[in-house]
Amino acid sequence: MSHPAMSIRLQAACSEVVWAARLNALWIGFTLLGGVVLGIGPATVAAYTLARRHARGETIHGWAEFWRVYRREFVRASLLVLPLAVAATVLAGNFLYFANAGATGWQAATLVALVALAAVGCYLGPLYAHYDLPLAAYLPKASLLALTRPASSVLLLFVLAAVVFATAAAPLLALVLSAGAWIYLNTWLCLRFFEENEARLDSKGNR
């Protein structure tokens, strides 16, 4: 590989890392703006919306557009994200409780439930950003994708686990990169899965 080509690729990779860091800062800032509980839903939806636009090569004007989506989607985003966040918190608490109590069977069952919830959650944000559906349709659609596309679900879970592992090893990443990197990678992968799924459905419909 020539040096100019390598330099261009390195510059592009650095640009994507900077973008993910900006997205991370916006997500943290606007989550805190809503007092975490009321902020996490609209901040997450705004982050996925901007990540989708960035992945499609659109020009984005940072915090102003984030704020616009945050305000517009405040109620719907909270209704979409908070139930999953509460369920994940309860399951994580139960997992730790059963681990301390030595209840191996219940601990394993809770872990399975957490993994299943994570698989569904991997599709939820990108689905909301990409498709215009009734609010009640997103969770069933995300659940269906998680079940019917096992290879894609495993890949998404692997990427999520890699981000979590890296953050656990270097906690500072949580402040500067982790959430933004995950949202960006999650969106980029899911957009390709959605395109493949639509192409497959179109081919079946044309037979």
Q: Are 198 and 127 in contact, with CB atoms under 8 Å apart?
A: no
> If you search the block for the tokens 């994708």, which residue do you land on?
145
Helix, strand or coil for residue 32?
Answer: helix
- pLDDT confidence of residue 1: 47
DSSP track, 89-127:
HHHHHHHHHHHHHT-HHHHHHHHHHHHHHHHHHHHHHHH
**Residue range(s) defining the domain that contains residue 37:** 3-205
- pLDDT confidence of residue 4: 65
- How many domains does the chain divide into? 1
**pLDDT in tens for each of the 207 residues of the chain?**
456 666 667 777 788 889 999 999 999 999 999 999 999 999 999 999 999 999 988 877 778 999 999 999 999 999 999 999 999 999 999 999 998 988 888 999 999 999 999 999 999 999 999 999 999 999 999 999 999 999 999 999 999 999 999 999 999 999 999 999 999 999 999 999 999 888 887 776 655
Q: Which amino acid is at 136?
A: A
| CA neighbours closer than 13 Å in the CB half-sphere of residue 69 | 25
